[in-house]
Amino acid sequence: MRLSFLGAAREVTGSCFLVEAHNLRFLVDCGMVQGGRTAAARNREPFPFDPASIDFVLLTHAHIDHSGLLPKLTRAGFKGPIHATPATVDLLGVMLPDSAHIQESDAQREARRFKQKTVVPPLYTLQDAHECLQQVRGIAYDREFAPRVGVRVRFRDAGHILGSAIIEVWVTEYGHTTKIVFSGDLGQPGRPILRDPTPIEDTDILVIESTYGDRLHKDFLATEEDMVRIVEETLFERGGNVIVPAFAVGRTQEVLYHLHRLTREGRLRQPKVFVDSPMATEATRITREHLELFDEQAKQLAGWHARGEDLPYLHFTGSAEESMALNRIRSGAIIISASGMCDAGRIRHHLRHNLPRRECSVLFSGFQAQGTLGRRLIEGAERVRIFGEDIPVRAAIHSVDGLSAHADQKALLDWARGFTQAPAQTFVVHGESSAAQAFAELLQQQLGWQVVVPEQGHALRWPDFLAGER
């Protein structure tokens, strides 16, 4: 059996792993590269395998850096099933068409910008996305299934976003069975809304994420106090707006949860909250349809929400005209909009109008990858380019990673301690090089594990781990 790391190797984007055994080839995730000047070019590169030869895909969750190249895979000849949890299936029905719309719009914009006679085709189209969705199959958590002879699979709750999964895979080849566990993105335990990541007891090979493998999140109660302080000072003392770049799936719903609860508890004066993302609106609707995946506290709050009790002023914008109208609001608004890393979508318009204003704040609640506008703002950029304009940064920039949907270093290590014996080999992925290396060293030093931080394109053969074979 051979395992190839085709994405999310020493970076936090483009998750894609290829497993090959006798008469068998399948992918775990097929994500889009996001952030940085080379992202678009990398996404256009041909797959380093024949898509028609892939038997099936296993998907950890719906975020675009894990699912965003699935329509491209279908367009290139992949005909097999895509297995995911039912909630992920529902979210893909929103996210993949939205991504296709962005691809088509970007291609048209580039054609107009450079006055090209020959239009460069989009990465994939809306039709490609809809055809891809016909291949998606929903499988419930904890139910073992066989996507092909010689393979057994089970999805376990990862606690990251709605429907996110840890994937257990058993591959039988020449009478010998090897177990591989793909952590996917793990959630931070003890947080409201979603359940904690499921402990896994054993595996031969572990592929584990390391987004925050080199740091700890701030105490959750302190993070809530920071959130209250930022909102109160910005809206009610300085008379500005709070702009919240948030992933449409997961983070937007979590931020709404906290605003609702803090308002209900009397810790926050009722703000005016606008969710400016059609995809986030749909994702919020889907979230309410999967209450069985919530923890008890979140189920209770969802009941209050359904009855309209103690809600802050909340409005979901739909049209472009409604979105543009938000930019005429000078004070008192919390505007939540995608994308979470500020590299696309409506959030750029709100930043353009609010970054130059000292009375305003930008509140980041999630990871910002290298090369993104969000990362530049967090690192203290004094000016940024948005829509070709040079925009001064005078607004206060805040980062509250205590709300992160990713497990921090301690949570990752605690989850790893759940294995009753060390995996024969562990691969640390989905982290920038420094974070991945730091977490790998921690696993080696504290648990005595055999650990590798693979490079992009790295391929290894089990059981002899012959590196460098392509």
Kindly state the DSSP code that residue 294 receives in the 8-state scheme: B
Burial of residue 470 (number of CB atoms within 10 Å: 0-12, 13-18, 19+) = exposed
**Which candidate, 144, 129, 143, 136, places its Cα nearest to that of 61?**
136
Position 93: which residue type? G
Residue-level pLDDT at 327? 93
Q: Rounded distance, CA 349 to CA 314, Å?
A: 20
Kindly state the DSSP code that residue 261 receives in the 8-state scheme: H
Secondary structure element (H or E) that encloses residue 171, with its range = strand 165-173
Q: Rounded distance, CA 338 to CA 411, Å?
A: 27
Q: How many residues does the chain have?
A: 470
Locate 8 and state its tokens. 């999310």
Long-range contacts of 111-119 (CB under 8 A, 24+ apart): none
Q: Where are the strands (E) in 183-328, listed by range? A: 205-209, 242-245, 272-276, 313-316
Q: Using CA atoms of 332, 334, 339, 340 in order, give the dihedral in degrees to the nearest 10.
A: 120
Residue-level pLDDT at 345? 81
Neighbouring residues of 27: CB distance < 8 A, sequence distance ≥ 6: 16, 17, 18, 19, 54, 56, 57, 58, 73
Q: Are 455 and 10 in contact (CB under 8 A)?
A: yes
Output the CA angle 451-404-217, nearest 5 degrees.
Answer: 70
Q: Which residues of the chain have pLDDT under 50?
A: 307-308, 466-470
Name beta bridge partners: 206: 181, 426
Locate 89 and state its tokens. 């299936």
**Which candidate, 133, 167, 149, 189, places its Cα nearest to that of 60?**
167
Sheet bearing 56-58, strands edge to edge? 136-138, 82-84, 56-58, 24-28, 16-21, 2-7, 459-461
pTM: 0.88
For the segment 149-188, what is each residue's pLDDT rounded down to a tens digit? Answer: 999 999 999 999 889 999 999 999 999 999 999 999 999 9
CA 361, chain centre distance (Å): 24
Neighbouring residues of 445: CB distance < 8 A, sequence distance ≥ 6: none
Q: Is 324 helix (H, G, I), strand (E, B) or coil?
A: helix
Domains (ranges, CATH) in the chain?
2-215+407-461 (3.60.15.10), 220-403 (3.40.50.10890)
**Which candidate, 122, 261, 116, 269, places its Cα nearest to that of 193?**
261
Three-state DSSP string of 25-50 = EEEECCCCCCCCCCHHHHHHCCCCCC
Q: Rounded distance, CA 230 to CA 362, Å?
A: 9
Residue-level pLDDT at 360? 97
Residue-level pLDDT at 114? 65
For the segment 226-245, what is each residue's pLDDT rounded down to a tens digit? Answer: 999 999 999 999 999 999 99
Residue-level pLDDT at 278? 81
